[in-house]
Chain A
C-alpha cells in the first residue's frame, strides 16, 4: 500500500484545482507583462512616501533625460553622447 493514499476528495477536486492553478499562472504572467510594459514606458516608479523627495519633484526646467558625459580630455563645452 502506498505511503500516502489519495483521498477520494482529492480526485474529485482535481479538475477544479488544475483550473485554479492555470488561472494563477495566468495572473502571474499578466502582472509580469504589465511590469515590463510599465518599466519600458518609464512610468512613475515611486509613490509619495510622506516626505518630499527630490526624485519625486517635477522638474522645474527641461533637463536632459540623462546627464551628458564629458569625454576625457575633451575641451570644455564639447560634450559627446
Chain B
C-alpha cells in the first residue's frame, strides 16, 4: 500500500510511552536527592533557579534511562519484568529511544549549565556518560559487581545539586555520594534475593546467579557494615548535627541488624516464610535512605532558626 512504515504500524508510541522511557520512578529518587544536595549547601540559590536546576537534573536522569532502554532492549525482551517496557512491547523503536535520549541529554546539560553554572552542567554530562557508557554498555554485562557501578551513577545527583549551589565539590557532597553509593548494593541485592528475575536467560551476571545466594547475603552484610560508619560520620561534617546523628545511629543499627539476619539464614529458611525477612529489609532500605536525607534537610531547616548543626 504505502512504503511509509509509520502508517502501517498498528501500535504506536503515545505520550505516556515516552514518559515511561524516562524511568519516572528512578527520577523521583534523583529529584529528592538532588534537591537535598542543593538545599543543604552553604550557598543560597534563588528558588526559581533551584527549581529549574532540579528539573533538568531529573531530565538528565531521564535521558540516561531512555539511553539505557535503547541499549538494553535485547535483554529487556527476555525478562518478564521488563517485557512491557515501550521498546520490547513494540510501541517505540530503538532508534526513536536513542534519538530521544540523546536530545534530552543535550538539552538538560546545556540548560543546567546556563541556569546554574558550567561545572554543574559538565557534572551532569559526566553522570549520563557514566550511567550509559561505563555502566550500561561496558560493565553491566561484564561483572557481577555491576550493581555497585550502577550505584555510583545513582549517587551523583546530590553532588550535582551541591555543585549547582557552590560550583564545586566538597567533603560534604562526597559524603552524600558515599551514602547512596554504599547503600545501593544491599538495596538491590536484597531485591534480587526474592525477585528471582530471569537474569541468567538474559546473560546479565547478577551476583545471585554467578556466586549464589550465600555469597550475596555475605556481600549485603559487608556493604552494610562499610556504609554505617560513613552514614554516621556524615553527622560530624558541616551539614550534620545532633538530629542527623540520632537518626543515623538508629537507622544504621536497624539496617545492620536486618543484614545480619539475612546473612544468618539460608534459602530453605527464606523460602519457608516466602522471603518475608528479605522483603522487610528491602523496604526498610528505602526508609533508610529517605530518613538520612530527610534528617539532613531537617538540620538545614533548624539552622534557619539558629538551631541544628553543632
Contact = CB atoms under 8 A, between A and B. Distances in A.
B48 interface: yes
Given A34-B48, A34-B115, 10 more contacts: A12-B12, A13-B12, A15-B15, A16-B13, A16-B14, A16-B15, A18-B15, A33-B52, A34-B49, A37-B46
25 contacts: A9-B6, A9-B7, A12-B12, A13-B12, A15-B14, A15-B15, A16-B13, A16-B14, A16-B15, A16-B18, A18-B15, A19-B15, A20-B15, A30-B52, A30-B55, A33-B48, A33-B52, A34-B48, A34-B49, A34-B114, A34-B115, A37-B46, A37-B48, A37-B49, A41-B46
Contacts of A37: 46, 48-49
A37 to B, nearest CB: 5
Interface of B: 6-7, 12-15, 18, 46, 48-49, 52, 55, 114-115
B199 to A, nearest CB: 34
Contacts of A18: 15
Nearest to A26: B55
A34 B52 contact: yes
B119 to A, nearest CB: 16
A63 B116 CA distance: 28
A33 B18 CA distance: 26
B6 to A, nearest CB: 8
Q: B-side binding surface: helix, strand, loop or mixed? A: helix
Contacts of B6: 9
A51 to B, nearest CB: 22
A40 to B, nearest CB: 9
Nearest to A23: B15
Interface string A1-32: 00000000100110110111000000000100
Interface of A: 9, 12-13, 15-16, 18-20, 30, 33-34, 37, 41
Q: A-side binding surface: helix, strand, loop or mixed? A: helix
A68 B48 CA distance: 33
A44 B97 CA distance: 37
A34 B7 CA distance: 40
A37 B47 CA distance: 10
Contacts of A20: 15
A37 B48 CA distance: 8
A19 B14 CA distance: 9
A13 B14 CA distance: 7
Q: Which 4 A-B pairs have the closest CB atoms?
A: A19-B15, A16-B15, A37-B48, A15-B15
A37 B114 CA distance: 12
A24 to B, nearest CB: 12
Contacts of B14: 15-16
Contacts of B15: 15-16, 18-20
A16 B13 CA distance: 8
A7 to B, nearest CB: 9
B167 to A, nearest CB: 14
B252 to A, nearest CB: 39
B105 to A, nearest CB: 16
Contacts of B18: 16
Contacts of A12: 12
A30 B56 CA distance: 11
A9 B55 CA distance: 32
Contacts of B114: 34
